[in-house]
Amino acid sequence: MAKRRRNNDGLVFSTNSSMSFDDEIQEEDDSSWTPSDCKLYVSLDRKQRAGKPVTIVEDFNGPASELLQLGKDLKVMCGVGGTVKEGCVLIQGDHRDKVVSRLEKDGYLVKLKGG
């Protein structure tokens, strides 16, 4: 899979002599993306979190800016903390029902995952 570079990706210098910065810079066409292009999985996880529940939204395949905005909106809606990490949105607490209804209202295809 080809890596797409953005102007703000943090890459300043490479020791690879055959690397060309101009060849790798590509413009992404985010205007054609719609929420219905994503099939999101919502689950509840307690592992490695001292028994505290965390609602996880996985498999987002849209633009990174949309994922960050989605994470922020879900945290505000639930009134709790959380983060966006490794392409997943983590919301503190068990908020699966709220998250699923909000995502469906926004036009995402949503499936519950796990027990």
Q: Which residue has the higher pLDDT, 48 or 71?
A: 71
Say what the pLDDT of residue 10 is.
63
Residue with tokens 């796990």: 114
Evaluate if pTM is beyond 0.85: no
Say what the pLDDT of residue 90 is.
95
Say what the pLDDT of residue 27 is.
47
Q: 30-112, which class in CATH?
A: alpha beta
Say what the pLDDT of residue 24 is.
47
Q: Which residue has the higher pLDDT, 15 or 96?
A: 96
| Domain segments of the chain as ranges | 30-112
Query: What value does the mean pLDDT of the chain take?
Result: 83
Cα(first)–Cα(last) distance of the chain, in Å?
33
Nearest to 36 by CA among 104, 109, 115: 109
Most confident of 14-18, 23-27, 91-95: 91-95
Q: Count of CB atoms within 10 A of residue 63's CB?
A: 14
